[in-house]
Structure 1
Amino acid sequence: MEDGAFLSGQMLIAMPGIGDPRFERALVLICAHDENHAMGIAVNRPVEGLTVPDLLGRLDVQGPIEIPPDLVLMGGPVERERGFVVHTDDYAAGDRSLAIGEGVALTATREVLEAMANRAGPPRKAVLALGYAGWGPGQLEQEIRDNVWLTCPPDETLIFGGDHERKWAKALAKLGVDASLLTSAAGRA
C-alpha cells in the first residue's frame, strides 16, 4: 500500500491460512480507514437461525416488519452485541450515517432499523450485522503486507447478496483468482 492510501469502501478477502478462525474465508467491507484505525463489517458470516425480522421483533421495532427472512450477519469479533446496518445510500440518517464508498453507507441507529422493517421505503438494500472487525494504527497495513488479506472493489452482490457460502470465491474471481487453487502452505524461493 502506498503511504496515505486508505481502503474505505474496499473489500478485504481473507487468505487461506489466516490463522484466525473468526476470519477464515471472510469477506470484509472496510467502512472506515485512516492512519489511526480501520473498521470493517464481515458480509459473508451469517448467524445461523437468526433472521433480520426476528431480531427486529426482539428489539421492538415499531410498525409492520415486511422484509424477507434474511440472516443477520456476524460483522466481526468486536462489540458483538452492537448492531450495524450496511445499506444503499438512498437512506441517510444525517451525520449518523457514514458514507463508505460509492452508493453504500453505514448506520448504527434505531431509525435505520425502522426504515429497514418496511420494504416500501429506503434503504433499497441493507444487511444487518452484529459486531465489527477493528484494527489499530498500522495493523491492517501490516497484515496486507504479510499477505493475510487481498483487496478488491465491492459490488452489490458481494455486499448484499444472500449466497454467503460463495461470496468469498466470487470476490477472488473478481481478481482472476480461482479459490480452489489456493493453499494455506507458504514457501520461499
Structure 2
Amino acid sequence: MANLSSGKILIADPFLKDPNFMRTAVFLCDHQDEGSIGFIMNRRYNKTAGELILDLEGCDFPVYFGGPVQTDTIHFLHQSPQFITGGIEVTDGIYWGGEFEEVVEAINLGKLTDQMIRFYLGYSGWGDGQLNGEMKEKSWLVTDGNKRLVFFPDENQIWREALKQLGGEYEQLVNYPIDPQLN
C-alpha cells in the first residue's frame, strides 16, 4: 500500500463512482492515524472569492469545492509565506492557512495573484482508519504533491496531470471512460 503522508496527492481511481470524488485529485494537508484532511483541487465552485468573502469584494479569484465536509467554511493553500504568516508548510513551499487579515491585505494591495493562493469551500476528511480502508479497496492512487499540480492553472487538467506524473501504465488511465461498460 502507498505510503500516505501530508503533502501527497490522492488521485481518484478512474472507475471510482462516488460522486463526491469521481475523477478528483485531493491534496492531503494532514494525515494521522486518527484521520486525514485534504482539499479537492479540481472542482471549481460557481462563485469567486469576492462573492463569498466580505473583505475581498471585487476579487475575482476562483474558489474550489474542497470537499463535502463543513461546506460553510473557507480554507486556503498558498505559496507566499513572505506575505502570509502562520501557515503550516505541508510540503516544499506549499502552505496551509495562516493569518487571514494578511491574505486580505496582500490581495487588496495586489501582492497576491490567483496563481499564488487557492481558496476552498469545505474540505475532504476521513476518520480513524477510513482512508487506509479506501486505499485497500484501491479507490485512490498516490503521488507526491508539488506546486505545479496544486496551483495548476487549468483545474480541469489536474487529475490527468497527476496521473501523468505517476508515469508508465498510469498515463494510459487518463483516456479511460468513466464507465468502460458503456464504451
Identify the TM-score tier after normalising by the shorter chain. Answer: 0.7 to 0.9
- Residue 131 (structure 1) aligned with residue 128 (structure 2): no
Number of corresponding residues: 175
Q: Among residues 27, 30, 42, which one is paired with 1:29 in the alignment?
A: 27
CA contact (8 A) 2:80 2:116 kept: no
Structure 1 residue 154, shift from structure 2 partner: 1.9
Deviation larger for 100-109 or 130-139? 100-109
1:75-86 equivalent positions in 2, closer than 5 A: 75-86=66-77
TM-score by length of structure 1 reads: 0.80
DSSP 3-state at the match of 1:165: helix
The one-letter amino acid of 1:55's match is L
| Structure 1 gap ranges (5+) | none
- Residue 180 (structure 1) aligned with residue 175 (structure 2): yes
DSSP 3-state at the match of 2:55: coil
Structure 1 residue 40, shift from structure 2 partner: 0.2
| Structure 2 gap ranges (5+) | none
- Cα distance in 1 for residues equivalent to 2:11 and 2:19: 14
- Cα distance in 2 for residues equivalent to 1:170 and 1:124: 17
CA contact (8 A) 2:115 2:151 kept: no
* Identical positions, percent: 29
TM-score by length of structure 2 reads: 0.83
Stretches of 4+ moved more than 4 A in 1? Answer: 121-124, 182-186
DSSP 3-state at the match of 1:168: helix
Q: Among residues 17, 20, 25, which one is paired with 1:19 in the alignment?
A: 17
Structure 1 residue 173, shift from structure 2 partner: 0.5
Q: Among residues 55, 60, 65, which one is paired with 2:55 in the alignment?
A: 60
